[in-house]
């Protein structure tokens, strides 16, 4: 430090500028940080480009809607992934119906009723921890308590996905509910409303856009999950319209099994299914962002 000071006294000095090596070190570090971002762009770009190029070859109206999944060995052109598309929509849809109301209610408990109590803090902490539970464990869990007794079904898959979504919805809804200013609640209480009424008619609507976008992100995540479905849904080659009984299939499962095949036809179908799946999750993500962007002003 002293050397730097005496050095700088020797000539007209601009004390705002750091000396040689300190500036280079700073620049190097800045370059490295930018490099980190660029590094991440490479695989992302690679995957998206390959996905679009190879997936586009496979996608056609027949591919998306034909209800018979052909044997692996057959090339593109026969059958399609309609069974898997319907399966994904049904299974994920039902899982959403289960997880979102329960998750929002759980967040309501944490924010409105639980306060700083030990139970609320425990539930809040364990919800965060639960988001890190591997999805395969959820699949095994539902296999043991449901499939072993009632058989494979799309609904069992929905249960497993709902277990996965629940902590995510709780945490994101909790964050949104916290942002609702207390003044809104107190104004409502002042008018004589009960706590339930306040929550349902004032707090939830105020936090609605944030809750919805959080829920959509949870749905996007669930739609892409494979492992929970392996143990609960099995597989089929024809569309199973009944969500509540009989094995089913979904896009991630088809991608998984076709990816392991050496056949070019199966691989092509895998890319097509992958592009379809990413498109679905992408749309959900964009809708979530739009809702957030349009309505953020409201929560201040």
Partner 1 sequence: MSAVTKADPATPAGSAHPLNRRRPLGDRGFQILALAAGLLVLVILVLITVTTAQQSTAWFSGGFKDIFQVAFDGNTRFGAMGVLYGTVISSVIGVIIGVPVSVGIALLLTQVVPARWARPFVYVIDLLAVVPSVVWGLWGIIVLVPWLQKIYVDIASGLKGVPVLGTLFGGPNVTGASFFTAGLILAIMITPIITSLSREVIATVPDIDKEGAYALGATRWEMIRGAVWPHSQGGVVGAILVGFGRALGETIAVALVIGDSVEVTPHLFYSGHSIAAIIALQFGEATGGEFRSALIGLGLFLFVLTIVVNLVARWFVERSTRRARGE
Partner 2 sequence: MPLGRRQHVTTVAVAAVAAALGLAACSSSSSSSTTGSGSATTSASASASTSSVSGTIKAAGSTFQTNFQQTAISAFKSADPNVTVDYDPVGSGTGRADLYANTVLFAGSDSPVPSKEVSKVPAGKTILYFPVQIGPIAMAYNLPNVTGLKLDATVLAGIFQGTIKTWDDPAIKALNPGTSLPSTTITLAVRSDSSGTTQNFSQYLVDAAGSAWKLGTSSTITWPSTAHAGDGGSAVAQIVKSTTGAIGYVDFSTATAAGLQAAQIKNSAGDYVAPSSASATAAASHVTPKADLTFAAADEPGATSYPITYQSWDLVYSVQPNATDVALLKAYLGYLLSSAGQALLTPLNLSPLPSSIDSAAVAQLSMITS
Burial class (CB in 10 A: 0-12, 13-18, 19+), 89: middle
The dihedrals phi and psi of 44, each to the nearest 5 degrees, come to -60, -50
Residue that is written with structure tokens 């080659």 in the block: 237
In terms of CB distance, is 26 or 241 closer to partner 1? 26
- Within 186-205, the residues that bind partner 1 by CB under 8 A are 186, 189-190, 192, 194-200
CA dihedral of 284, 249, 271, 217, whole degrees rounded to 10: 20
Give per-residue burial for 268-298: e unless 16+ CB within 10 Å, then b.
Answer: bbbbbbbbbbbebbeebbebbeebbeeeeee
Determine the Cα–Cα distance for residues 157 and 139; give it in Å rounded to an integer: 8
- Sign for the pseudo-dihedral over CA of 95, 96, 99, 101: negative
- 157 binds, options partner 1, partner 2, none, Cβ within 5 to 8 A by partner type: none
> Residue 106 is encoded by which pair of tokens?
């759980």
Residues 222-261 that bind partner 2 (CB under 8 A): 237-239, 241-243, 260-261
Candidate residues 105, 137, 208, 279; the one interacting with partner 2 per rule CB under 8 A: 208
* Nearest residue (CB) to partner 2, 72 versus 131: 72
* Contact between 114 and partner 1 per CB under 8 A: yes
Give the contacts of 172 (CB within 8 A, at least 6 positions apart). 210, 211, 214, 215, 217, 218
Closest distance between partner 2 and the C-beta of residue 210, in Å? 10
Q: Which stretch binds partner 1 (CB under 8 A): 18-26, 58-66, 67-75, 208-216?
A: 18-26
The verdict on 79 binding partner 2 (CB under 8 A) reads yes
Count of CB atoms within 10 A of residue 186's CB? 11
In the shown chain, the binding pattern of residues 147 to 176 toward partner 1, with x for contact by CB under 8 A and - for none, equals: ----------------x--xx--x------
Q: Which of these ranges, 67-75, 112-120, 149-157, 207-215, lies near partner 1 under the rule CB under 8 A? A: 112-120
Residue 296, binding choice from partner 1, partner 2, none, Cβ under 5 to 8 Å by partner class: none
Burial of 196 (0-12, 13-18, 19+ CB in 10 A): exposed
User: In the complex, what is the shortest distance from the CB of residue 137 to partner 2, in angstroms, rounded to a whole number?
Assistant: 26
What is the footprint of partner 1 within residues 33-52 (CB under 8 A)? 33-37, 39-41, 43-44, 46-48, 50-51
Q: Segment 261-290, which members bind partner 1 (CB under 8 A)?
A: 267, 270-271, 274, 277-278, 281-282, 285, 289
Of 146, 147, 164, the closest CA to residue 96 belongs to 164
Measured CA to CA, the distance from residue 63 to residue 79 in angstroms comes to 7
When CB distances are held under 5 to 8 angstroms depending on the partner's kind, the choice from partner 1, partner 2, none that residue 248 binds is none
Which one of partner 2, partner 1, none is in contact with 223 (Cβ closer than 5 to 8 A by kind)? partner 1
> Which tokens go with 299?
């929560």
262 binds partner 2 (CB under 8 A): yes
CB nearer to partner 2: pick between 45 and 75: 75
List interacting residues with partner 2 (CB under 8 A). 62, 65-68, 70-75, 77-79, 82-83, 86, 89-90, 92-94, 96-97, 184, 187-188, 202, 205-206, 208-209, 212, 216, 237-239, 241-243, 260-265, 287, 291, 294-295, 298
């Amino acid at each position: 430090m002293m050397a730097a000071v005496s050095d700088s006294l020797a000539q007209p000095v601009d004390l705002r500028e750091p000396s040689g090596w300190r500036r280079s070190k700073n620049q190097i570090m800045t370059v490295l940080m930018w490099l980190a971002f660029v590094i991440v762009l490479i695989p992302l770009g690679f995957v998206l480009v390959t996905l679009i190029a190879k997936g586009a070859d496979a996608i056609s109206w027949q591919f998306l809607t034909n209800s018979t999944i052909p044997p692996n060995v057959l090339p593109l052109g026969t059958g399609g992934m309609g069974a898997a598309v319907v399966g994904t929509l049904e299974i994920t849809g039902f899982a959403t119906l289960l997880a979102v109301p329960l998750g929002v209610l759980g967040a309501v408990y944490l924010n409105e009723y639980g306060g700083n109590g030990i139970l609320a803090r425990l539930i809040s902490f364990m919800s965060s921890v639960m988001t890190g539970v591997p999805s395969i464990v959820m699949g095994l869990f539902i296999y043991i308590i449901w499939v072993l007794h009632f058989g494979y079904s799309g609904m069992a898959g929905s249960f497993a996905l709902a277990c996965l979504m629940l902590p995510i919805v709780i945490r994101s809804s909790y964050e949104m509910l916290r942002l609702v200013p207390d003044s809104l609640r107190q104004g409502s209480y002042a008018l004589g409303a009960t706590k339930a009424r306040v929550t349902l008619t004032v707090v939830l609507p105020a936090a609605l856009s944030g809750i919805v976008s959080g829920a959509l992100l949870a749905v996007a995540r669930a739609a892409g999950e494979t492992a929970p479905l392996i143990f609960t849904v099995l597989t089929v080659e024809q569309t199973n319209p009944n969500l509540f009984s009989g094995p089913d299939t979904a896009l991630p499962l088809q991608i998984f099994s076709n990816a392991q095949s050496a056949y070019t036809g199966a691989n092509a179908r895998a890319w097509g299914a992958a592009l379809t799946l990413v498109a679905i999750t992408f749309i959900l993500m964009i809708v979530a962002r739009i809702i957030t962007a349009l309505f953020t002003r409201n929560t201040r």
